[in-house]
Amino acid sequence: MSGHGTPIPMTSHPVTGLAGEAHVPGDKSISHRSLILGALSVGETRVTGLLEGDDVLDTAGAMRAFGAEVVREADGTWRINGVGVGGFAEPDQVIDCGNSGTGVRLIMGAMATSPITATFTGDASLNSRPMARVTDPLSLFGAQAHGRWGGRLPMTIVGARDPMPVRYTLPVASAQVKSAVLLAGLNAPGETVVIEGEATRDHTERMLAGFGATLNVEDTKEGRVITLQGQPDLQPQTIVVPRDPSSAAFPVCAAIITPGSDVLVPNIGLNPTRAGLYTTLKEMGADLTFENMREEGGEPVADLRARFSPDLKGIEVDPARAASMIDEYPVLSCVAACAEGRTIMRGVKELRVKESDRIDAMAQGLRANGVTVEEGEDWWIVEGRGAGGVPGGATVESRLDHRIAMSFMVLGMAAQNAITVDDGTPIATSFPIFEGLMAGLGADLRRGAGA
Ligand code: S3P
């Protein structure tokens, strides 16, 4: 299924006893970065476990357009022959990043300090998302951005001829913005400094260090101060992409709310900047265990075992944890709907500018399925109905948003009646094997209207 074609409705019917092992795909954030940093190194980078979702495939296509050789050798196994920092060629076509905010924002950063021009576009969702958060700092390096009203795609970036290094304090907690600035800083002379008040996912920093860049990260009163030395010779790497904790969230949450379930999700990356959902689920009383805790490729990894949890309690989610679980609020709200009491989520206004306005998309879908939701600009509250208490039975818009579609498929498994999304095709952006994997655990997902 791909989010670019005809919409295909998908229905999730109630089931019991999800069981088995769920081998979820590679981490989306790390997959994008593997391709981009591989393209910015001279020599051959090899990647295994790459997520072959549409978002990442679009980034692979973009790296080819900028002159790198990017070859798929086998399932999840890719080879990239990079052009080096400052070596990007000017693309002779528009770069289509599909649905991917991460793809477009990181690539804009990576090209903004080279003397080339590139035009970017995406699908209806991506073309409605704010880009000024990235083009503002890129203009400090000397790049120019010409986009539509409000800084929307399609947009042309004219890279800086003589880039200046910058010192930039992030106005929003965004790993995409942080990463765009760091990638731009690679081809600027001297030190580029990014300061973040709240720690966001740190894959770019870890991977830049792995590729041989000189980078210093310091926790100060101002926040995390990341200092990058410009114009390094990045060294090609061999990368094993860990499995995505954000994708693992779907089988884990499905097992927690579906009676009789016991699911093992092996080899999940539990980088603390990504693992907030799992802390939150434990606080709610989920039967979730971390087995075989270990370290792989410098990242903490564990096998997650999730069992049906009949006594979930609503909680107030610590807003300080928001950045570490920002992509997981949609599926968390489905778990909250199956808990006793209210779950309060604050400090989450970034949810309004994701692939969809995720507070609105979830609130409307939950209400249609019999769950009470209150919302404000940067908060929302889900009134839990207890285990087995969600009526279900409605059709929900997925709004070109993979995580909205998958969240309602998960809720349908544990609701009293089936839940339908009007379009399941966006799921292919991040989790192309979702249907087969969930069916293998015992889910009953059907395609087509009235299925
Ligand atoms: C990502 C950062 C987050 C996240 C997205 C992936 C990344 O976005 O929502 O799915 O790989 O850097 P923001 O930077 O907008 O918070």
Both 250 and 166 in a single domain? Answer: no
**Which tens digit of pLDDT belongs to each residue from 266-288?**
999 999 999 999 999 999 999 99
Structure tokens at 264: 């093992």
pLDDT range class, residue 448, cuts 50, 70, 90 = confident
Q: Is residue 378 among the annotated active site residues?
A: no
Do residues 122 and 153 touch, judged by C-beta distance below 8 A?
A: yes
How remote is the CA of residue 40 from the centroid of ligand 1, in Å?
21
Q: How many angstroms separate the CA atoms of 102 and 172, rounded? A: 15
Q: Which residues pair with 150 in a beta bridge?
A: none
Instruction: Report, as an integer, the average pLDDT of 54-68.
Output: 98
Whether 451 is in a domain gets the answer no
User: Considering its fold, how many domains does the chain have in total?
Assistant: 2
Which one of 166, 201, 231 terminates a domain? 231
Q: How many angstroms separate the CA atoms of 362 and 246, rounded? A: 17
| Mutation to probe ligand 1, out of 27, 29, 55 (largest number of atoms < 8 A from CB) | 29
To 10 degrees, what angle do helices 175-185 and 132-140 make? Answer: 30
Beta strands 10-13 and 419-421 are antiparallel
How remote is the CA of residue 126 from the centroid of ligand 1, in Å?
13
How remote is the CA of residue 39 from the centroid of ligand 1, in Å?
21
Question: Catalytic pick from 96, 202, 244, 327?
Answer: 327
pLDDT range class, residue 101, cuts 50, 70, 90 = very high
Both 164 and 299 in a single domain? Answer: no
Both 169 and 275 in a single domain? Answer: no
Which one of 168, 197, 231 terminates a domain? 231
Structure tokens at 21: 């092992």
Whether 322 is in a domain gets the answer yes
Do residues 242 and 265 touch, judged by C-beta distance below 8 A?
A: no
**Which tens digit of pLDDT belongs to each residue from 331-386?**
999 999 999 999 999 999 999 999 999 999 999 999 999 999 999 999 999 999 99
Which atom of ligand 1 has the smallest separation from the CA of 173?
A: 16
Whether 38 is in a domain gets the answer yes
- Taking the CB of residue 219, how many other CB atoms lie within 10 A of it? 9
- Nearest CA residue ID for atom 16, ligand 1: 174
Both 351 and 413 in a single domain? Answer: yes
Q: How far is CA 185 from the centre of its chain?
A: 23
Q: How many angstroms separate the CA atoms of 209 and 225, rounded? A: 15
Position 435 pLDDT exceeds 60: yes
Which atom of ligand 1 has the smallest separation from the CA of 33?
A: 11
Both 48 and 113 in a single domain? Answer: yes
**3-class SS of residue 73:** strand
Both 216 and 268 in a single domain? Answer: no
Residue 277 is predicted with a pLDDT of 98
- Taking the CB of residue 191, how many other CB atoms lie within 10 A of it? 15
Both 59 and 124 in a single domain? Answer: yes
Position 4 pLDDT exceeds 70: no
Do residues 264 and 256 touch, judged by C-beta distance below 8 A?
A: no
Do residues 129 and 150 touch, judged by C-beta distance below 8 A?
A: no
- Taking the CB of residue 175, how many other CB atoms lie within 10 A of it? 24
- Nearest CA residue ID for atom 5, ligand 1: 102
How remote is the CA of residue 449 from the centroid of ligand 1, in Å?
32
Range of the domain at 176: 28-231
Both 274 and 199 in a single domain? Answer: no
Instruction: Report, as an integer, the average pLDDT of 20-39.
Output: 98
Whether 4 is in a domain gets the answer no
Do residues 335 and 366 touch, judged by C-beta distance below 8 A?
A: no
Which one of 199, 231, 263 terminates a domain? 231
Both 34 and 19 in a single domain? Answer: no
Whether 330 is in a domain gets the answer yes
Mean pLDDT computed over every residue of the chain: 97
CATH code, domain with 45: 3.65.10.10
Whether 129 is in a domain gets the answer yes
Both 74 and 18 in a single domain? Answer: no
DSSP H helices, 231-389, are: 245-257, 276-283, 329-337, 358-368
Taking CA atoms, 148 is separated from 119, 153, 281, 295, in Å, by: 12, 6, 41, 45
pLDDT range class, residue 206, cuts 50, 70, 90 = very high
Taking CA atoms, 229 is separated from 87, 139, 165, 332, in Å, by: 17, 19, 9, 39
Both 212 and 277 in a single domain? Answer: no
Binding-site sequence positions for 3-phosphoshikimate: 28-29, 33, 174, 176, 327, 354
Both 257 and 210 in a single domain? Answer: no
> In terms of pTM, does the model score above 0.95?
yes
Whether 78 is in a domain gets the answer yes
| Ligand 1 pocket residue status of 175, Cβ below 6 Å | yes
| Mutation to probe ligand 1, out of 125, 326, 358, 402 (largest number of atoms < 8 A from CB) | 326
| Ligand 1 pocket residue status of 99, Cβ below 6 Å | no
Which atom of ligand 1 has the smallest separation from the CA of 175?
A: 14
Instruction: Report, as an integer, the average pLDDT of 167-171.
Output: 98
Query: E-strand spans in 52-142?
Result: 69-74, 77-83, 95-96, 117-121
Whether 298 is in a domain gets the answer yes
Dihedral of CA atoms 160, 164, 165, 168 in degrees, nearest 10, equals: -80
| Ligand 1 pocket residue status of 58, Cβ below 6 Å | no
How remote is the CA of residue 349 from the centroid of ligand 1, in Å?
14
